[in-house]
Amino acid sequence: MIDLRSDTVTRPSAGMLAAMTSAPLGDDVYGEDPTVTELEETVAGLLGHEAGLFTVTGSLANILGVRALVAPGSEVLCEASAHIARAELGAHAAISGITTRTWSAPGGQIDLDQIRALIAPDLGPYFVTTSAVSVENTHNFGGGTIQTAYDALADELDALGMPLHLDGARLWNASVASGVPMSAFGSRAAAASVCLSKGLGAPVGSVLVGSAELIREARVWRKRLGAGWRQAGVLAGAGLYAIRNNVERLAEDHAHAREIAEILADAAPGSVKPDQVDTNIVVADLAATGKTVASVVAAAKAEGVLVGGVGVTQLRLVTHLDASAEACRTAAETIARLLH
């Protein structure tokens, strides 16, 4: 099977497995796992922050990061299809007592006019207070898009004294595709998360970064939620290997995604715009094809290709290090034949 459902489906390479089995270990709840500490310090440094916290998932990193910035009973603003609003099962409300208001923009982009209209820092005792704005970069459901107004938003929030939360699950992809250093993105946010188990190919984990004080609070809440872990250096070793070996090669995934988009655009004009495929995610709109997402997903699976849907008419294909150029081309040609 060619699996392009997500870049989370990768398996550890031989080199990564070797790094995992040779990692020095200790009890991380006691702060004694040297490999976890090295990973946290490495990622914090890459993103221009004081400290980091290794978490089991990107969702947990976001829950902890948003909670550190937004008090219960106040709100965070984000784009309507952002991961924190759409794919974290209401955790920010259910766990942290935080409400969400959203703007909507093509590709999940920052819309400064809409955000300005939404921000309510202090409208008195009868309105919810806006405590932070969250941005996803790259934007998953927007098709792996890179945020173009990121610095402009950060500048405006700095002037307001309002923190920015960065869901940087695929920030590595944004950095490689744009040439902008990770620190240039990360340092603008008060709290930022990056994922190790997507494009970088590690089996588990994300890292939340921020000030030393913010990370101290997040560490307490991680334990409070039952997510402290012991000899986690086995997994941190995979993350370190991923950072040292699998970042620059993300450009290959981006090239494969662009080729997939071109093939699908030829087969179903208007379904996808190749020049808008920034990174490793292709979202094709099947509305004009007469095909349903469910039928295409099922037919593709019968032909040895796994893809997924992210909306009523939206089909998603995600390239990754376990999918070669040939495999991506075969998958695209299979989907194109089904759409034609």
Q: pLDDT tens, 127-178?
A: 999 999 999 999 999 999 999 999 999 999 999 999 999 999 999 999 999 9
Range of the domain at 257: 249-339
CA dihedral 222, 188, 89, 102 (to 10 degrees): 150
Q: Is 231 in the same domain as 120?
A: yes
Decide if 4 is inside a domain. Answer: no
Q: Is 140 in the same domain as 44?
A: yes
Decide if 39 is inside a domain. Answer: yes
Q: Is 285 in the same domain as 137?
A: no
Q: Is 235 in the same domain as 275?
A: no
Q: Is 123 in the same domain as 144?
A: yes
Contact indicator for 78, 84 with CB cutoff of 8 Å:
yes
SS3 194: strand
Decide if 80 is inside a domain. Answer: yes
Picking from 188, 213, 245, the residue at the C-terminal end of a domain is 245
Decide if 55 is inside a domain. Answer: yes
Residue 313: what pLDDT? 95
The percent of the chain in helix, strand and coil, each rounded to the nearest 5, is 45, 15, 40
User: Whole-angstrom Cα distance, residue 72 to residue 74?
Assistant: 6
Q: Is 254 in the same domain as 234?
A: no
Question: With b meaning 16 or more CB within 10 Å and e meaning fewer, what string describes 226-238?
Answer: eeebebbbbbbbb
Q: Is 42 in the same domain as 138?
A: yes
Q: What's the pTM value of the predicted model, to 2 decimals? A: 0.96
Q: What percent of the chain has pLDDT over 70?
A: 100
Residue 252: what pLDDT? 98
- Give mean pLDDT, residues 68-84: 98
Q: Is 256 in the same domain as 224?
A: no
Tell whether the model's pLDDT for residue 243 goes beyond 90.
yes
Q: Is 165 in the same domain as 236?
A: yes
Output the average pLDDT for the chain: 97
Q: Is 321 in the same domain as 240?
A: no
Q: Is 88 in the same domain as 119?
A: yes
Decide if 155 is inside a domain. Answer: yes
List the CATH number of the domain containing 198: 3.40.640.10
The total number of structural domains in the chain stands at: 2
List the CATH number of the domain containing 329: 3.90.1150.10
| pLDDT tens-digit readout, 113-141 | 999 999 998 888 899 999 999 999 999 99
Cβ neighbour number for residue 282 with a 10 Å cutoff: 32
| pLDDT tens-digit readout, 7-39 | 999 999 999 999 999 999 999 999 999 999 999
Picking from 200, 230, 245, the residue at the C-terminal end of a domain is 245
The helix or strand, by DSSP H or E, that contains position 64, with its residue range, turns out to be helix 58-69
Tell whether the model's pLDDT for residue 316 goes beyond 90.
yes
Picking from 225, 245, 265, the residue at the C-terminal end of a domain is 245
Decide if 217 is inside a domain. Answer: yes
Q: Is 263 in the same domain as 192?
A: no
List, in sequence order, every residue forming a beta bridge with 132; answer none if it has no partner. Answer: 76
SS3 187: coil
